[in-house]
Structure 1
Amino acid sequence: MITKEALIEQLEASAVLLELQGENPFKCRAYTNAAKAIAELDVDLHEAVRNRTLLERDGIGKAMFEKISNAVETGRLGSYDELRAAVPSGLLEMLKIKGLGPKKIKILHERLGIKDVVELEYACIENRLVDLPSFGKKTQDKILEGISYRKKQMGFHHCHTARREGEALLSKLRERKEVVRAAFGGSVRRRNEIVQDIDLIVSSDHPADLISFFCGQPEVEREVARSESKARVILKSGIAVDLYVATEERFPYLLHHYTGSKDYHAALEERAKRFGIRISEYGLFLDDHILPCQEEREIFSTLELDYIEPELRENRGEIEAAAQHRLPPLVTENDLRGIFHVHSTYSDGSGSLSEMIEAAERAGLEYIGISDHSQSAFYANGLKEDRIQKQHEEIEQLRQRFKGIHIFKGIEADILPDGSIDYDDRILSAFDFVIASVHSRFNMSEREMSDRVVRAMSHPKVTFLGHPTGRILLSRQGYPLVVPEVIEAARRYGVVLELNSSPYRLDLDWRYCKLAKEAGVRLSINPDAHGVEGISDTFFGVGIARKGWLSKEDVINTLPLDQIKPFLMNKRK
């Protein structure tokens, strides 16, 4: 038996589904009017159907009455179920985004093939909505704001959002004269790809004043809790922030305690017990006295360990390696000499070639690899042969203009469902490098997708495998893939795996980076920049590389120009 409320909901949803399918307005309005008539019904719905008095109501014709009568009898509005089956469920989810109605969603679905919020967000990030009818830059930005608001309700946040919010607060805290030291703790300090909250660790002899100052900041939406030495607030962005204040003597212990994961601390406490030491946020205790440590490094040396970088503190072998002096020196931002995977206005980027190159030169890079989308990516204005030639001619001119940075000609070529690349060898030979990426048919089985990717990697013109698992953080899981097989194929065919630095991707996952390193496979920390601001996203990629135990030698774009040139040339041959 269907309730009045459920029937109204299904009638209203049917009107929307019909509009999404492009039905004429009269048919859509029939369902809207029927929902209104049911809502205004002042007698029992089932009684009005049984005695057919419902037919006397405005908005209820004979055909609609039959549908409602059947729904009352069966418990479901049959036409609604049929419509639901015909329309991708993700389109209805998109209706929850502010600024999107059925007409705009229909355009997005028909023009760009967007089926859900995940694909919508990434299309916005790559500026694909700007040139659509009824859209534009302002509408695209509003949609991104709506998606961001929706994510706030989920309790997780991208690392770049948390870092930006945290840096603003840290900057203000460091300006206070009563603050001695201030630093990130928690998952932000460990450079995790997503975070739930922000931990700020501060040393000061005036905690009460500092906490009052912190809670009164304009970024704070509400105060959750406060004590003598800590406070928790919710920012207007939706992120929770915890402030911990300790004396300067306690700062190293507090910073260490609020950095490592739970598994890391459990393992470290076991090691400390072997020395008769108890470890906590208050200090290192031997019997009844504290072992003084002025710096965090001294905590490790007391336990006869090499210093463990914050990114590694996950209990994935780092404690054992530190005891045996086997921790690798981790790659740094300063190690990067150039970047690949940069888009321009030739496909779906917002920056022109000259703007992207100039930004890379300003960043002190020796080389930049331009790689717009290939012809199969029609939704991203992918390049056909005539536009490739035009772009290459412009790059030749820009090489004369920009003397301080070398420009490589590349392409992000689609891996087609059968594993082939969407250009023939003649066209591929015109590029200095080729990034092969999956952008379609994510619903393949694990076996099919793995075979597809490995076949693409076997192509002699493929230099990099782009965003290997295709994940979109907080939105879409990676497609099913036997990653160890892909890593082995990279070793076999000499393909470089991309560590995509977009904070929405951060793919390859850091848990697989170590596996690639052990297999002798090199990675490239690429920004996947779609605008000048995206070039600096390599910061986040370096964080993931460090979590994955990567050293400078494991990352191909730490090579200087005079070494990367022959590498790319040999790969082309």
Structure 2
Amino acid sequence: MTNKEVIGILDQIALLLDLSGESGFKSRAYTQAARQIERFEESVSILVEEDRLREIKGVGDALEQKITEFVTTGSLAYYENLKSQFPDSLFALFTIPGLGPKRIKQVYDELNIQSLDALEAACTDGSLGTLKGFGPKMMDKLVRGVAFAKEHQGENYYDKAYAEARRLVNILSEESTVVRIEIAGSLRRCKEVVKDVDIIASSTDPSAVMARFVEDEYVVEVVGHGETKSSVVLRSGIGADLRVVSDEQFPYALAHFTGSKEHNVVMRRRAKERGLKLNEYGLFDGEENWVCMDETEIYSKLELPYIQPELREDCGEFGLEATPELIELEHLRGVIHCHSIYSDGRNSVREMATTAQELGYKYLTMTDHSQSAGYAGGLQPYRVEQQQKEIDALNEELDGFRVIKGIESDIRADGSLDYDEDVLKTFEVIVVSVHSNLDMTEDEATTRVVKAVENPYTRILGHPTGRLLITRKGYDLNYEKLFDACVANNVAIEINANCKRLDLDWRYVRQARDKGVKLCLSPDAHSTGAIDFVRYGVGIARKGWLKPEDVLNTLGTDDFLAWCAR
């Protein structure tokens, strides 16, 4: 049992308690325990085994019993009893911005609304407007929220799906009959959200591999179990497909099931133009199947350079004359955009710095929230001074590593930054982000963000559209104007690597680069463990065709500071 699973069920219990109308004190006990476990480095399973759960702050008799039951049995009766009080369809309402547990309880109790369809109908017929707190603006927001939620139903965050895929690949690789095995589908192409997991394997005994797959301990439903394909639903709710082929077919199956559909259409057309036939089984010249040992050979047969999986969207990749050298995780020298316990982070400045150094980085920008973000412990000027003194002292100790003094300044509604100039000039780097008043027209959003970009102290624009994948669309921007402003004012744009954001969207990354905008890959880390989120940003950067020289934090410490000081 992983810590993440324990955290997940504690958060779910807190949500269900709120939905049940229990006191906030009771639900907070579970959320606080979940947050403590996030900061705890040891495995909860080991703590249970060694009878040491009480070492986690806030864990008393009741929580100890429940966590122990969940870890040792894989289920928790208390959670199941709470969940059984509500229809499963009700939980989809939590994806709608503006609908928290109290409002959901209100619409459920008073109008028996228990699904997205029912909520949409209540907005349309006006019955929702009879409830206290549901005025015209809220109704309009909910209509848009329901439409967005329906559009994204069944999608999963990249990191969640990737963790499931990697675990399955590792387990299946233990089968001695497996020759080759790879993750395929939209995961391999680094799409920002994915619907399911696709795995391709070659084996001398497909039935043994299939048996291991469907018998995995995390499988809750076997949807299909065949000789060449099996489909399951995992405990996380994610669907997974496994296809097992001969090793001769493996490169073709991997290419085909990696996709995208649009890319595959062009590949098949190129084959046809050359008198060949391409499918998931091979590349055929009449009855003869041409042997290709890997995907590179398939592309070569079709007179193409190897095209990396991230680029396979039929968005210009067939015009490449050579395989581009795309950004790799190893190219990054520094970690940009991190939070500490000074605001809403879970670790100290020292802990964040030492972790980054242990991971091989040379610098870390400490960019806690600014004073307007009171909900996140935003720093008042005296706290800024206190943190900067701590950073100076820490830098005296660190060898070969630098903590860079920064802030994530809120972009106010009028586009101004969050401090007077006397405070702004004390920072070495300023990331600016919108966190409030998100309901803007394109013109309003563009004017607001561009004004912040034009501030002489701004160096990086953080999560530029404010989107939250699956749950919130984010505001529209005039990207032409935004990119022009960034170039004119020497401002980089962040690719926020938190898998709930992955913002800037990859569809605009290449456009920004072509305009001359520098991009940076930022984990937006609120804990030491989250520093590694930057790897997901690398996938989005590659999908946006970025090379090492396009990315700001491939610069060394001195060059990065010099760039910020320009």
Instruction: Describe the superposition over 1:274-314 as per-residue Cα deviations: whole angstroms up to 9, x where unpaired.
Output: 21111100000112211110111100011111100000001
- Written as runs of structure 1 = structure 2, the 5 A alignment for 1:367-386 is 367-386=363-382
The aligned counterpart of 2:246 is 247
Instruction: Describe the superposition over 1:205-264 as per-residue Cα deviations: whole angstroms up to 9, x where unpaired.
Output: 101111011100101001001211110000011000000001111111111111121111
353, 359, 365: which one pairs with 2:361?
Answer: 365
The aligned counterpart of 1:424 is 420
The aligned counterpart of 2:186 is 187
Instruction: Describe the superposition over 1:408-446 as per-residue Cα deviations: whole angstroms up to 9, x where unpaired.
Output: 000000111111111122111000000010011111211
536, 542, 546: which one pairs with 1:546?
Answer: 542
CA contact (8 A) 2:464 2:494 kept: yes
The aligned counterpart of 1:61 is none
The aligned counterpart of 1:449 is 445
Instruction: Describe the superposition over 1:117-156 as per-residue Cα deviations: whole angstroms up to 9, x where unpaired.
Output: 9xxxxxxxxxxxxxxxxxxxxxxxxxxxxxxxx99x9311
CA contact (8 A) 2:129 2:136 kept: no
- Written as runs of structure 1 = structure 2, the 5 A alignment for 1:400-439 is 400-439=396-435
Q: 1:88: Cα distance to partner?
A: 8.3
SS of residue matched to 1:83? coil
Residues 268 and 564 of structure 1: CA distance in aligned 2, closer, same or farther (over 3 Å): same
- Written as runs of structure 1 = structure 2, the 5 A alignment for 1:14-163 is 81=130, 83-85=132-134, 154-163=153-162
Distance 2:184 2:469 in 1: 22
Q: 1:479: Cα distance to partner?
A: 1.0
Distance 1:529 1:88 in 2: 34
2:474 aligned with 1:478, yes or no? yes
Distance 1:338 1:204 in 2: 41
2:311 aligned with 1:312, yes or no? yes
The aligned counterpart of 2:122 is none
Instruction: Describe the superposition over 1:85-127 as per-residue Cα deviations: whole angstroms up to 9, x where unpaired.
Output: 359859x99xxxxxxxxxxxxxxxxxxxxxx99xxxxxxxxxx
Distance 1:216 1:517 in 2: 47
Distance 2:175 2:396 in 1: 50
The aligned counterpart of 2:59 is none
Distance 1:225 1:173 in 2: 18
SS of residue matched to 1:170? helix
Q: 1:84: Cα distance to partner?
A: 4.4
Residues 82 and 246 of structure 1: CA distance in aligned 2, closer, same or farther (over 3 Å): closer
The aligned counterpart of 2:464 is 468
Distance 1:190 1:387 in 2: 43
Q: 1:452: Cα distance to partner?
A: 0.6
Distance 1:481 1:529 in 2: 25
2:562 aligned with 1:563, yes or no? no
2:491 aligned with 1:491, yes or no? no
Q: 1:545: Cα distance to partner?
A: 0.2
2:276 aligned with 1:277, yes or no? yes
- Match of 1:205, as an amino acid? T
Distance 1:382 1:79 in 2: 36
CA contact (8 A) 1:328 1:550 kept: no
The aligned counterpart of 1:347 is 343
Distance 1:468 1:80 in 2: 33
Distance 1:480 1:187 in 2: 25
CA contact (8 A) 2:129 2:135 kept: no
- Match of 1:377, as an amino acid? A
SS of residue matched to 1:198? strand
SS of residue matched to 2:319? helix
The aligned counterpart of 2:383 is 387
- Match of 2:542, as an amino acid? R
Distance 1:19 1:366 in 2: 48
- Match of 1:85, as an amino acid? F
Residues 78 and 218 of structure 1: CA distance in aligned 2, closer, same or farther (over 3 Å): closer
Question: How many residues matched?
Answer: 441
Distance 2:529 2:486 in 1: 30
CA contact (8 A) 1:268 1:319 kept: no
Residues 79 and 347 of structure 1: CA distance in aligned 2, closer, same or farther (over 3 Å): closer
The aligned counterpart of 1:4 is none
2:499 aligned with 1:518, yes or no? no
Residues 464 and 77 of structure 1: CA distance in aligned 2, closer, same or farther (over 3 Å): closer
Distance 1:77 1:466 in 2: 38
Distance 2:462 2:134 in 1: 34
Distance 2:200 2:351 in 1: 39
Instruction: Describe the superposition over 1:384-405 as per-residue Cα deviations: whole angstroms up to 9, x where unpaired.
Output: 1100000001101111222131
SS of residue matched to 2:258? coil
Distance 1:495 1:436 in 2: 10
CA RMSD, 1 decimal:
2.5
Q: 1:268: Cα distance to partner?
A: 1.4
CA contact (8 A) 2:509 2:541 kept: yes
Instruction: Describe the superposition over 1:495-545 as per-residue Cα deviations: whole angstroms up to 9, x where unpaired.
Output: 000010111100000000000111111100011000111100001000000
- Match of 1:426, as an amino acid? D
- Match of 2:491, as an amino acid? V
- Match of 2:392, as an amino acid? E
Distance 2:293 2:169 in 1: 21
Instruction: Describe the superposition over 1:328-372 as per-residue Cα deviations: whole angstroms up to 9, x where unpaired.
Output: 310000000001100000000011111111110110001100000
- Written as runs of structure 1 = structure 2, the 5 A alignment for 1:226-305 is 226-305=225-304
Using the size of structure 1 for normalisation, the TM-score is 0.74
Larger CA Rg, structure 1 vs 2: 1
Q: 1:79: Cα distance to partner?
A: 11
- Match of 1:291, as an amino acid? W
Q: 1:82: Cα distance to partner?
A: 5.0
CA contact (8 A) 1:498 1:523 kept: yes
Identity %: 42
CA contact (8 A) 2:128 2:134 kept: no
Structure 2: runs of 5 or more not aligned: 1-18, 24-124
332, 348, 364: which one pairs with 2:328?
Answer: 332
Residues 198 and 425 of structure 1: CA distance in aligned 2, closer, same or farther (over 3 Å): same
SS of residue matched to 1:372? coil
SS of residue matched to 2:340? coil
SS of residue matched to 1:255? helix
SS of residue matched to 1:427? helix
The aligned counterpart of 1:68 is none
Distance 1:201 1:298 in 2: 18
Q: 1:562: Cα distance to partner?
A: 2.9
Name whichever of 79-88 and 337-346 sits farther off.
79-88
CA contact (8 A) 1:264 1:314 kept: yes
